[in-house]
Amino acid sequence: MAREYALEDLELYLLSVMEDRLHGVMPSLLRGVAAAASWPFAGAAALRRQLYLGGKLRRRRAPLPVISVGNLVVGGAGKTPFSSYLLRGLSRQGRQVAVIARGYRSGKSDAVNDELVMLGRQVPDALTLATPNRLTGCRKAAELGAEVAVLDDGFQHIPLMRDLDILLLDATRPFGNGRLLPRGTLREPPECARRADIAVLTRVDLASRGQVGELRTWLGRLRRNMPVAECCFRPATLKPVVAGSAPPLDPEALSGRRIGAFAGLADPRSFGRLLRALGAAVVYSRRFRDHHRYTGRDLAEVAAEARWAGAELLVTTEKDAVKLSRLTAPEAPLYYLPIEVEMREGEDLLWAEVGRALANFKKP
């Protein structure tokens, strides 16, 4: 366990370095090394794309329609809430849906795929499958009766052909820090957005109309007549992580309250912005690595540190709550904040693209 904590601390340190949060001789040196490593990474990724898209390597087709939800950066665009919105919409149409995820950091026997568990709770009728081989997952979903498969975080999974590629772009930071991995958070150059069938701009409520307009203009220049929709993330009723340990709260109840916030997200800044937008005074915050496996020690430390900072209650994300619910509740009230998608513009356009993709599907 000590080794695992040390590795997580190292990962968070390196993330802070690459996100330009830390300064000094060592962070600058590490950024230089990472910048040099970005060139071979970009070259290898570009060659892979060219081989698949140019037909040198074979792309496979699934036995059912495939809709991909993805983005260009490592985390932060809201893929999981949007996948939930999409799954619910398809389910309301009477379709049997499945969500396929790679099962990132869920391979250990005592670990869970937090995102899939969360999606399963939100859309009980959906099949949830975790597998690094998306084609295998789609075939399994079809065998189980699914009519449509949604790939959570599938934009870069080029070997599997998609019937609809939905690209999410955070309107506040669409390209992260603008640098490719490992120097930055970009998985591939921004120009790769032209592969998308439709772009959905997220968090438009936190961006200026000028930012949104510039992003729309850029997309229009990248590919003429690219469909574009807009959405934001609306907080729902706060619920206790441990059922029955505290009463539910309306989001407005956070206004003026001293909050201790913690999360294991690729980009936790959006969570803090959301809490502050609700009027909360975030007096304590702690970042864990994405998909962190919480222990009783973690929760006890967070509760003690937040209490020392003057926090009245603790708030985390729904994804984190999946792994926290099995732990003993701390003395301070512990809540998670569910997030729902609110389409601001282009919802009809989005569902028209979904309907067209499903109607045009031809079984291989």
Report the candidate in 206, 199, 194, 232 with the shortest Cα–Cα distance to residue 81.
232
Using DSSP, state whether 32 is helix, strand or coil.
helix
pLDDT of residue 57 exceeding 80: yes
pLDDT at 6: 67
DSSP H or E stretch at residue 27? helix 25-53
- Structure confidence at residue 286 (pLDDT): 92
CA 282 to chain centre: 23
Identify the residue whose tokens are 């028209």.
Answer: 352
Domains along the chain with CATH numbers: 1-37 (no CATH), 66-233+342-359 (3.40.50.300), 237-337 (3.40.50)
For helices 79-92 and 347-359, what crossing angle results, to 10°?
70
pLDDT in tens, 142-174: 999 999 999 999 999 999 999 999 999 999 999
- What's the CA gap between 264 and 141, in Å, rounded? 29
**Cα 143 from Cα 161, distance rounded (Å):** 19
Cα separations (Å) of 257 from 110, 246, 270, 305, 352? 35, 16, 19, 17, 42
Please report which confidence band the pLDDT of residue 363 belongs to, taking 50, 70 and 90 as the band edges: confident
* pLDDT at 7 > cutoff 90: no
**pTM score > 0.85 for this model?**
yes
First to last CA, the chain: 48
